[in-house]
Amino acid sequence: MIYLDYAANHPVDPAVLSRFCAVEMDYPGNPNSSHLAGQAARELLAETTEHIASLLGAKPTEVLYTSGATEANNLALKGIARANRHLGKHILSTQLEHASVGGSLTALQQQGYEIDLLDIRRDGTIDTDQLRELLRPDTILLAVTAVDSELGTIQPLEEIREILKDYPNCRLHVDATQAVGRIPITFQGFDTMSLAFHKIGGLNGSGLLLKRQQLVIEPLFHGGSSDSIYRSGTPTLALAAAADTALTLAIEYRDERTAVVRDMRTQLETVLSAFPKVRINSPVGGVPHILNLSIQGVKGTQFQKALSERGVCVSVKSACSSDGLPSKAVFAVSRERKNSLSSWRISLSWRTTQEDITGFLQAFDACYQELA
Ligand code: PLP
């Protein structure tokens, strides 16, 4: 099998798994218990949280452990909207967001919130002129992805932050799930930021919401404040420790891993662009690990199936929205429905090998000859 779907899920790093097992075995106590075992667990949790916070430029009290980015996005969006409804019910977001943001916004819309989605420019970035036009005194939230999972566009977060300075009631939520470990990003100037560790060699079922200390949000879960009043449930110490290891490695080796991925991406893009019916959809300047392309006249699902039959795993849209509808993100940059229906995504890792690339290109050539 040739796995090229690392933006959907990245295999766990052996060091992360070892850390998980060691902590799970060595710390039997519940961090909320007052006895010796509880105290030991509490101390390790505090140390771990402090380290994670320092890696992300946050305070330990700003770290909320979640089951992944879907929960973190739901908690941020619903939590901010509900806690600020006295200030307004207008929310802004974009066409590029992950289904967990889109789904939260739909739920909020059904509860009477007004949602506007910003257009995407041809280079994949959000239309910041339109952002200026749509912001209102009753806009309480802008939810934007730092890097979208389909095209890999890096959004102009600095510019967005500057624009929001004139709107003190508008909170900024950043989905950093595809950005952490790929580009330099810290929790500076945002109100909330979500991420998931299974994208960077951490364990599935583990993520974070960073929440600015003074910001009050409404929790999703009620009962038992445990680690924080904003996220009930016994904190899973071993998952937190594993997350710390994954994040430490992702940040420490980010530059060298990115260089490896960039070389493979360049190689792929050069070879694929020579096929007359190939169109590269990912904008120039995006993250190197995501490459979105279309084969004119061939549905993305059809090409993906043909590759899968040859042992190659790529994805059509993101793994969480395989509904057969055209990709909104690709439509936004190409303005062509057919092109968006033909699109699919390769996503790479520092673990991708030259054999993977060669094998993929052979399979691609065979599928192209058969279908295009
Ligand atoms: N946000 C983005 C940008 C993603 O790419 C994903 C996963 O694909 C998520 C959120 C959801 O993450 P999780 O699988 O941890 O719920």
- Averaged pLDDT, 215-228: 84
201 close to ligand 1 (CB < 6 Angstrom):
no
Mutational test site, ligand 1, from 320, 322, 345, max ligand atoms within 8 Å of CB: 320
Identify whether residues 204 and 274 lie together within a single domain: no
Provide the 3-class DSSP secondary structure of residue 348: coil
Task: Supply the CATH number for residue 343's domain.
Answer: 3.90.1150.10
- Averaged pLDDT, 269-274: 97
Count the Cβ atoms, other than its own, within 10 Å of residue 273.
12
Which pLDDT band, with edges at 50, 70 and 90, does 370 fall under? very high
- Contacts of 265-269 spanning 24+ positions with Cβ under 8 A: 265/289, 265/291, 265/348, 267/357, 268/346, 268/357, 268/360, 268/361
Identify whether residues 283 and 337 lie together within a single domain: yes
Which pLDDT band, with edges at 50, 70 and 90, does 316 fall under? very high
Identify whether residues 189 and 282 lie together within a single domain: no
Identify whether residues 282 and 138 lie together within a single domain: no
- Contacts of 84-90 spanning 24+ positions with Cβ under 8 A: 84/140, 84/141, 84/169, 84/171, 85/140, 87/138, 87/140, 87/169, 88/136, 88/137, 88/138, 88/139, 88/140, 88/169, 89/113, 89/114, 89/138, 89/140, 90/114, 90/116, 90/136, 90/138, 90/139, 90/140
Q: How far is the CA of 69 from the centre of ligand 1 (A)?
A: 5
Identify whether residues 217 and 339 lie together within a single domain: no
Identify whether residues 259 and 296 lie together within a single domain: yes
Domain boundary, last residue among 252, 273, 307: 252
Task: Supply the CATH number for residue 203's domain.
Answer: 3.40.640.10
Identify whether residues 133 and 231 lie together within a single domain: yes
Q: What is the pLDDT of residues 39-62, one digit of tens each?
A: 999 999 999 999 999 999 999 999
- Averaged pLDDT, 226-249: 92
Are 81 and 106 in contact by the 8 Å Cβ rule? The answer is no
Q: CA–CA separation, 253 vs 133, rounded Å?
A: 40
Which pLDDT band, with edges at 50, 70 and 90, does 318 fall under? low
Q: What is the pLDDT of residues 75-91, one digit of tens each?
A: 999 999 999 999 999 99
Which pLDDT band, with edges at 50, 70 and 90, does 250 fall under? very high
User: Counting every residue, how long is the chain?
Assistant: 372
pLDDT above 70 (res 260): yes
Identify whether residues 107 and 61 lie together within a single domain: yes
Q: How far is the CA of 138 from the centre of ligand 1 (A)?
A: 29
pLDDT at 328: 86
Identify whether residues 120 and 163 lie together within a single domain: yes
For 370, the token pair is: 């058969």
Domain boundary, last residue among 252, 275, 310: 252
List the beta bridge partners of residue 279. 294
Mean residue pLDDT of the chain comes to: 95
Identify whether residues 244 and 304 lie together within a single domain: no
Enumerate residues 6+ apart whose C-beta is below 8 A from 25.
none
Identify whether residues 240 and 284 lie together within a single domain: no
Per DSSP (E only), the strands in the chain are 2-3, 63-66, 90-94, 114-118, 139-145, 171-175, 192-196, 207-211, 278-280, 290-295, 312-313, 343-347
Q: Backbone phi, then psi, for 175, in 5-degree steps? A: -90, 105
Which pLDDT band, with edges at 50, 70 and 90, does 228 fall under? confident
Residue of 21, 170, 313, 320 marked catalytic: 320
The pTM (predicted TM-score) of the whole model is: 0.96
- Averaged pLDDT, 136-140: 98
pLDDT at 295: 97
Residue percentage of the chain with pLDDT more than 90: 92
Identify whether residues 353 and 242 lie together within a single domain: no
pLDDT at 20: 98
pLDDT at 327: 86
155 close to ligand 1 (CB < 6 Angstrom):
no
339 close to ligand 1 (CB < 6 Angstrom):
no
For 138, the token pair is: 């009753």
Q: Which domain holds residue 33?
A: 14-252
Q: Is 320 annotated in the active site?
A: yes
Q: Backbone phi, then psi, for 87, in 5-degree steps? A: -95, -20
pLDDT above 70 (res 322): no
Which pLDDT band, with edges at 50, 70 and 90, does 117 fall under? very high
Count of structural domains within the chain: 2
For 167, the token pair is: 């709107």
- Give one DSSP letter per residue of 115-162, joined into a string: EEEEPB-TTSSB-HHHHHHH--TTEEEEEEESB-TTT-PBP-HHHHHH
Are 279 and 296 in contact by the 8 Å Cβ rule? The answer is yes
Q: CA–CA separation, 32 vs 234, rounded Å?
A: 8
pLDDT above 70 (res 222): yes
Domain boundary, last residue among 222, 252, 282: 252
pLDDT at 301: 94
Using CA atoms, how far residue 242 sits from 33, 194, 219, 256, 367, in Å, is 21, 17, 25, 22, 40
Which pLDDT band, with edges at 50, 70 and 90, does 234 fall under? confident
For 322, the token pair is: 């395989």
Ligand 1 atom nearest to CA at 318? 8
Q: How far is the CA of 99 from the centre of ligand 1 (A)?
A: 8
